[in-house]
Amino acid sequence: MSSIIFGPLLSRRFGKSLGIDLSPNKKQCNFDCLYCELKPAKTVDRYDDIISVDNIMHALQEALSLHKDIDVITITANGEPTLYPYLGKLINRINDIKGNIKTLILSNGSTIGDLNVREALAKLDMVKLSLDCANDKCLKKLDRAHEGLNVADIMQGMLDFKAIYDKPLIIEVLLVKSINDNIENITALNHFLTKLNPTRVDVGTIDRPPAYKVEALSYDELKGLVSLFDLSLPVYIVSRKTADKRVQKYTNDEIIQTLSNRPLSSDDIEILFDEDTKHRLKDLLNSNKIKIKSYGGVDFYKLP
Ligand code: SF4
């Protein structure tokens, strides 16, 4: 059997993370996304290869006894972790032993319409759900969703979840060239996300070899599309691999002007500002003309 536990992985955002793979033996997913980094596979709406909660807990406890300084336990799968039939029970067992360690799940968001899934996820410290498409045609084409899944149920499920969950909820939008990067999709996603009001929106593109032949967007293209999102949404551009550094000198007024348009993440600052501008950014910070606010673990520079 492949390993149920992976890591620890170091992440700038969460610190040291141990991953739990709920489907270590094969891909079990209700999506078969064009951009998936796993091989294409027929979609399923339930797991048939199921690891017992006891086995997972045994592996987790063993890993935690080896690594004493874990900050976060991340629940994932080779596929969709919320299809694991004993998710609620597993999360209860993890919560019993985790102490101060945070818990996070990375889900494709497709099952959030299910009350049992919402109740299970509500017991985690952070939840990250994907939402690439604002209509069913796109869901079928890009995420190649299992029959019966539809955007209306997913969006309503997200709203219902947000109503009961006051911890960080992060929505991830992955954009693929000529598939879901059109203005209609972005505008409709923005409309929904403004209503949902998640802690943060992560917008990215393909940065690993995809299952099917699809193309990534450039950093400029991502940035252009992100500018269509409502200013009230903390949007974080994730795709670092496609980001070319294009540092420039900004005057203090230009820094303020830029931040008044949209808060910038630390990564954006690295890409946009030259060393001198970064120093002056610090001065502006020290004199309280700007401030840093963390949204779900990502720092954004913004006006007070
Ligand atoms: S949801 Fe994740 S695992 Fe499933 S097909 Fe899409 S990218 Fe792959």
Q: Is 244 part of a structural domain of the chain? A: no
Is the CB–ligand 1 distance for residue 80 below 6 Å?
yes
186 and 286 together in one domain: no
Place of tokens 């499920």: 157
Task: Give the residue numbers spanning the domain of 76.
Answer: 5-237
213 C-alpha to ligand 1 centroid (Å): 15
Q: Angle of helix 275-286 relative to helix 252-261, nearest 10 degrees?
A: 80
> Distance between CA atoms of 30 and 130, rounded to whole angstroms?
13
Is the CB–ligand 1 distance for residue 157 below 6 Å?
no
Q: Is 243 part of a structural domain of the chain? A: no
Q: Which two tokens stand for residue 257?
A: 């002007």
89 and 39 together in one domain: yes
> Residue 274 belongs to a domain with what CATH number?
1.10.10
22 and 133 together in one domain: yes
Q: 248 and 272 in contact (C-beta within 8 Å)? A: yes
CA-based nearest residue to 243, from 215, 263, 222, 224: 222
Could you tell me whether strands 264-265 and 291-295 are parallel, antiparallel, or unpaired per DSSP bridges? unpaired
Number of domains, the chain:
2
Q: Which atom, in ligand 1's list, is nearest to the CA of 41?
A: 5
Q: Which atom, in ligand 1's list, is nearest to the CA of 143?
A: 6
> Distance between CA atoms of 290 and 264, rounded to whole angstroms?
11
43 C-alpha to ligand 1 centroid (Å): 10
Q: Which two tokens stand for residue 288?
A: 């309280």
| DSSP summary character for residue 22 | S
Is the CB–ligand 1 distance for residue 79 below 6 Å?
yes
Best of 32, 132, 207 to mutate for ligand 1, by most ligand atoms within 8 A of CB? 32
CA angle 31, 32, 33 (to 5 degrees): 100
Is the CB–ligand 1 distance for residue 18 below 6 Å?
no
> Tens digit of pLDDT per residue, the chain (304 long)?
459 999 888 776 778 899 999 999 999 999 999 999 899 999 999 999 999 999 999 999 999 999 988 999 999 999 999 999 999 999 999 999 999 999 999 999 999 999 999 999 999 999 999 999 999 999 999 999 999 999 999 999 999 999 999 999 999 999 999 999 999 999 999 999 999 999 999 999 987 778 889 999 988 899 899 999 998 899 998 865 545 566 788 899 889 988 887 788 887 888 788 999 999 999 999 999 999 988 877 888 988 8
